[in-house]
Amino acid sequence: MGLSLLWLVPALPLLGALVNGIGAGKLPRKLASVIGVGSVGLAFAIALACFGDLLSLSPEQRRATQSLYTWIQTGDFRADVRLMLDPLSAVMMLVVTGVGFLIHVYSMGYMGHEKAYGRYFAYLNLFTFSMLTLVLADNFLLMFLGWEAVGLCSYLLIGFWYERPAAAEAGKKAFVVNRIGDWGFLLGIFLIFVTFGSVDFGTVFAQAPLRLAVGSALASGIALLLFLGATGKSAQIPLYVWLPDAMEGPTPVSALIHAATMVTAGVYMVARCHVFYLLSPLALQTVAVVGIMTVLLAATIAVTQTDIKRVLAYSTISQLGYMFVGCGVGAFTSGIFHLMTHAFFKALLFLGAGSVIHALSGEQDLWKMGGLRRYLPKTHLTFLIGTLAIAGVIPFAGFFSKDEILFQAWLRGGPLLWCAGILGAFLTAFYMFRLYFLTFHGSPRFSEEVKHHIHESPDSMTIPLMILAVLSTVGGFLQIPLVQGGQILDRFLEPVFADALALVPPAHAGHTPMAEVWLMAISLAVALVGILVAYRFYVTSPETPRRLAERVRGLYRLVFNKYWVDEAYDATVVQPIYRGSVRLWEDFDAAVIDGAVNGVGKQIERGSALLRSAQVGYVQVYALVLTLGAVVVIGYLALR
């Protein structure tokens, strides 16, 4: 029953988006929320039913498709609107609808006072639809449609408060930076079509190992172009710059798009196209290197940021880096596992941050918070769980997923990669607890007036927090290391990756249970050290960080200013294009194009003025000319 209803999963949010979009501003708020939240809730229920059906099949047969209609057919080219449910897309579908549903519920409370309530839910639903199209697509073109639509929704939602110039700018930036990635993705699709004559996942992935040799230039080209798309969407070096600015959007949007779902599209895409990456060691290595560099870059920046949402944004970039590290060493399951747990705890952290901001009447500066645990007990507890999860403390979800990635990095990527990962883990624990301590501990640093307004958030906001807190706690148990039969997700996703992983011999060297235990212990210890350092810096002796910053002043300024990456991009890319465009506009468009158009117009006007003088308006002059004509005609007839 469930699988035949698969099309409803994306269709319902689309319907909600249409109803809320068309009726924006006219529907009563209650109805808008019922439609907005209900459509996603129903989609989640159907997704669960589909998932149940999928589980009832034997592992080899867990791949269901549903053709809706033929989208494009021209010559040899054919693209259907066909949905495909396999274990990988099932995980994504559940994350998108499940976490998405909780965020929708949360939005009812958070956006309760918003004027453009209907518009907000229309965008949110449209986003859910796009993301579901992306993950459920059965060919590259449909995936690209979802991919682009996700980018569009991101633009719309970041710029939701478009009256604020910063928000409008941020939306534009996100869109343009994403376009660069999309360009790579599109080129990748073209290359795939040229090579295989099809864009169907089934055909392409089945043909790829037969047509492309391991390490061939074509495989690397496809894989790297696709990865460029992934860096745009998933905010990796060099295209990560849009994500921190995206925090201009409403906080639930940050949670939904810029933490839990949209940014994972790149990871999903790399996992989906794992065949190409496994065929190209170069691309695989690139993914891992870019991933680990992003981890460190973003983590260091996060240490110095003072805006609560920006810290979380950089932590998102950093965690996405981990996912790519996982994919980059060929452990796609680990990447997807971290994607899932990250969706839980990052959504939790963002929503918790939203609750804090809500309570503090819109304050986002960490230095104007503090001591909030007394005022916001529910938020505090759930936020603590989220922080522990992301820091990688056993038994919370982040520990299992991050540790698995680190273990795989050790196993297949080598000690250097692992060391960098451990450093990232330390930084993660540090900056997250810095955030936590600054927000919830110490003495309040906000004004009396703000204090007066502090209130715990309504149930519609705290209940999603609690559900996410539970998920962040138990989510990791899907992959319990060392225990026989503990790797539930591994086995579930195995059919997707098995055939391709057979291509490359897995590196089993050094895989001993003892090593795994040791590595686990080290990463746990590192996380705890990070927490302790944060505690010492921000609770017991708050003077330390300032002194430290003084001592390494140059380094601090470098990191605090985000390595001047934005400025560098501005100087090397944005400004030249801008200046070139201005030149084109002033010199070419205004002078040549406009000149030609206006010149033609002016000449015609001049000619018309000449002809117009014949129209004297006196009827007798016309009669005279008529007579002249008669004279000529009669003369011709007479003298013929």
Partner 1 sequence: MLEPVLFALFSVSAVVFAFNVVFRRNAVHCALHLVGVLLSLSGMFVLLNAQFIAAIQILIYAGAIMVLFLFVVMLLNVKGEAPLLTPGAWKGFGFFFALIVFVELLYIVLSQGGTEGTPAAAVPLPPGFGSPAEIGRILYSTWLFPFEVTSILLLIAVIGAVVLAKRKFA
Partner 2 sequence: MQTLSVPLEAYQLVAALLFTIGLIGVLVRRSALIIFMSIELMLNAVNLSFVAFSRQHGQMDGQIFVFFVMSVAAAEVAVGLAILVAIFRNRETANVDEVHLLKG
Q: Which residues bind partner 1 (CB under 8 A)?
A: 618, 620-621, 624, 627-628, 630-631, 634-635, 637-638
Q: Is 517 or 634 the residue whose CB approaches partner 1 more closely? A: 634
- Least Cα distance to 227 among 177, 277, 261, 191 occurs for 277
- Quote the least distance from Cβ 626 to partner 1, whole Å: 10
Residue 485 interaction partner, one of partner 2, partner 1, none, beta carbon < 5-8 Å per kind = none
* Smallest separation (angstroms) from partner 1 to the CB of 638: 5
Helical (H) or strand (E) element with 261: none
Q: Which does 617 bind (CB under 5 to 8 A by kind): partner 2, partner 1, none?
A: partner 2
Measured from the CB atom, the residue of 453 and 612 that comes closer to partner 2 is 612
Query: Closest distance between partner 2 and the C-beta of residue 629, in Å?
Result: 13
In the complex, minimum distance from the CB of residue 162 to partner 1, in angstroms, rounded to a whole number: 49
Q: Which of partner 2, partner 1, none sits in contact with 638, Cβ below 5 to 8 A by type?
A: partner 1
- Inter-residue contact 472 to 341 (CB < 8 Å): yes
Residue from 158, 268, 275, 165 nearest 223 by CA: 275
Residues forming contacts to partner 2 in the complex (CB under 8 A) are: 611-620, 623-624, 627
Residues 249, 462: Cα–Cα separation, whole Å? 20
Q: Residue 613's binding partner, choosing from partner 2, partner 1, none, with beta-carbon cut-off 5 to 8 A by kind?
A: partner 2
- Assess contact for 235 and 267: CB atoms under 8 A: no
Phi-psi map region of 239: left, alpha, beta (phi>0 left; psi -120 to 50 alpha):
alpha
DSSP 102-157: HHHHHHHHHTTT-S-HHHHHHHHHHHHHHHHHHHHBSBHHHHHHHHHHHHHHHHHH
Q: Minimum distance from CB of 623 to partner 1 (Å)?
A: 8
**Cα four-point dihedral sign 459, 461, 465, 467:** positive
Residue 615 interacts with, from partner 1, partner 2, none (CB under 5-8 Å by kind): partner 2
- 634 binding partner (options partner 1, partner 2, none; Cβ < 5 to 8 Å by kind): partner 1
* Residue 197 vs 635, nearer CB to partner 1: 635
Compare residues 58 and 615 and give the one whose CB is closer to partner 1: 615
For the bound state, the minimum distance from the C-beta of residue 578 to partner 2, rounded and expressed in Å, comes to 48
Rounded CA-CA distance 341/332 in Å is 14
Angle formed at CA 569 by CA 564 and CA 572, multiple of 5 degrees? 120
What element of type H or E holds 361?
none
Q: What does 631 bind: partner 2, partner 1, none (CB cut-off 5 to 8 Å by kind)? A: partner 1
Contact 88, 124 (CB under 8 A): no
CA 340 to CA 335: how far, in whole Å? 9
Of 70 and 627, the one with the shorter C-beta distance to partner 1 is 627
CA angle 195, 333, 515 (to 5 degrees): 125
Residue placing its CB nearer to partner 2 in the complex, 517 or 616: 616
Helices (H) and strands (E) in the chain, counts: 28, 2
Which of partner 1, partner 2, none interacts with 614 (beta carbon under 5 to 8 A by kind)?
Answer: partner 2
Taking the complex as a whole, how short is the minimal distance between the CB of residue 594 and partner 1, in angstroms? Answer: 42
Structure tokens at 141: 């073109």
**Which CB atom, from 483 or from 637, has the smaller least distance to partner 2?**
637
Binding partner selected for residue 619 from partner 2, partner 1, none, CB under the kind-specific 5 to 8 Å limit: partner 2
| Minimum CB distance to partner 1, residue 639 (Å) | 8
Output the smallest distance, CB 158 to partner 1, in A: 58
Residue 306, exposed/middle/buried by CB under 10 A (0-12, 13-18, 19+)? middle
Q: Which residues contact 119 (CB under 8 A, 6 or more apart)?
A: 20, 21, 24, 25, 160
What is the SS3 assignment for 487? strand
Instruction: Specify the residue, 607 or 635, whose C-beta has the smaller distance to partner 1.
Output: 635
Which pair of tokens denotes residue 32? 């808008």
Q: Residue 74 in 3-state DSSP? A: strand
Q: Which is nearer to partner 1, 582 or 631 (CB)?
A: 631
